[in-house]
Amino acid sequence: MNALARAADLAGTILLLLGCLQCLLGVIGMLRFPDVLSRSHAATKPQTLGMLLVLVGVGLRLRHGTDVGTLALIVFFQFLTSPVASHLVARSAYRTGQTGSRGLLRDDLDPQLSDGDGTGGQP
Amino acid sequence: MSNLFRDRSPYSWSFRVGRGRRILDLPLVGWLTVIWILLWGTPSWANLVNGVLVAVCLCLAFPLPAVDIGLRLRPLGILRLGAYLLYDMFSSSVEVTRQIFARGPYHAAVVAVPLRVRSDLVLTATAVAVSNVPGGSVIELRRATATLFLHVLDAAEPGEIEGARQRVWRMEELVARAFGTAEDIADAARPVPEGEPPP
């Protein structure tokens, strides 16, 4: 039992470290990517994978039924709510034209937004 | 018991209270009670009773419209979806890490992905799943045509756009098999739309 507990502690520690690494990579991505939409790709890392790893790590160290239940609840609500926020950020970034200095290689959305008034949108 | 998860809607476990549209939705009451107990942190009879009381009061005070959103819970499908989400999170995370440290500016694109299932629930759940994976960024949703608009980071790379669309379609099928009705699953099993959509 003791060996099992130590193994769980070790695994929890490793997962915590991996989660922190994900968060660090997310921050580096935020610094390196030039525009809002690209940054949102990197910003998802700490929000989902990073948090999942950290919470599983915490769960492995706590090893108590209700605590693990609460952690699962956190994961559930985080997974349910964070897409709403990131969608709103991406949507407003797109509509205010913050698509990067080089523009988009291909844009399927613009013709739909300009509602086919004959002229079409900027490529 | 398996009926609950297969054919019947969870909403068939609700009953009407008095006149009007006050409806006691038993699965909802159960779920709220579970949250209540988890938030208090100690499973005890007092917490259970209080949780049920609070949940019933909430359901009566803020009645939700009794809409069948077509939610089915399929345990096997949910497990498969969860496993695929985990796998996708790790593999996309590696991909995004590579893109973070790669040199040079990117040429991004916004790609339309028409879904095959015309169900609000599957559309929402697919969008949530896609945007929870690193490297998935949903910009816009069209409900009328069930279309998802994705931001693809490295669109200049060959196959990147097609790959992103394939991932969304795969996710859609898994979501339909986890939460969809039989009709949704049949829709999701159809072949994906061929060719490029009009730009």
Contact A41 B43 (CB under 8 A): no
pLDDT digits (tens, 9 = 90+) for B54-84: 999 988 888 777 666 777 888 899 999 999 9
What phi and psi, each to the nearest 5 degrees, are found at residue B17? -115, 115
Contact A40 B149 (CB under 8 A): no
pLDDT of residue A120: 39
Q: List chain A residues with CB under 8 Å of B131.
A: 44, 82-83, 86-87
- Whether B96 has its CB under 8 Å from any CB of chain A: the answer is yes
pLDDT of residue B81: 93
pLDDT digits (tens, 9 = 90+) for A12-60: 999 999 999 999 988 988 888 888 888 888 888 778 889 999 999 999 9
SS3 (DSSP) at A107:
strand
DSSP A34: -
pLDDT of residue A58: 93
In whole angstroms, what is the distance from residue A118 CA to residue B121 CA?
34
Contact A94 B139 (CB under 8 A): yes
- Residues in contact with B138: Cβ distance below 8 Å, sequence separation at least 6, in sequence order: A83, A86, A87, A90, B127, B130, B131, B148, B149, B150, B151
Q: List chain B residues with CB under 8 Å of A40.
A: 137, 151
Q: For A87, which of B138, B142, B198 is closest by C-beta distance?
A: B138
Residue B44, Cβ density class (10 Å: 0-12 exposed, 13-18 middle, ≥19 buried) = exposed
In whole angstroms, what is the distance from residue B48 CA to residue B57 CA?
14
pLDDT of residue B51: 93
- Residues in contact with B181: Cβ distance below 8 Å, sequence separation at least 6, in sequence order: B70, B72, B119
pLDDT of residue B9: 53
CB B171 within 8 A of CB B182: no
What phi and psi, each to the nearest 5 degrees, are found at residue B23? -130, 130
Residue ranges for chain B with pLDDT beneath 50: 1-7, 198-199
**ipTM confidence score:** 0.80
Contact A73 B142 (CB under 8 A): no
Contact B110 A44 (CB under 8 A): no
pLDDT of residue B150: 87
Distances in Å between the Cα of B71 and the Cα atoms of B67, B164, B169 are 10, 26, 19
Contact B137 A99 (CB under 8 A): no
DSSP string, chain B: -HHHHHTS-GGGGEEE-SSTT-EEEHHHHHHHHHHHHHHH----HHHHHHHHHHHHHHHHHSPPP---------HHHHHHHHHHHHHHHHHHHHHHHHHHHS-S----EEEEEE-S---HHHHHHHHHHHHHSTT-EEEEEETTTTEEEEEES-TTSTTHHHHHHHHHHHHHHHHHHHH--HHHHHHHTSPPPPSPPP-
Closest among A15, A93, A96 to B90, alpha carbons compared: A15
Q: How far is A61 from chain B (nearest CA, A)?
A: 17
Q: For A100, which of B100, B108, B136 is closest by C-beta distance?
A: B108
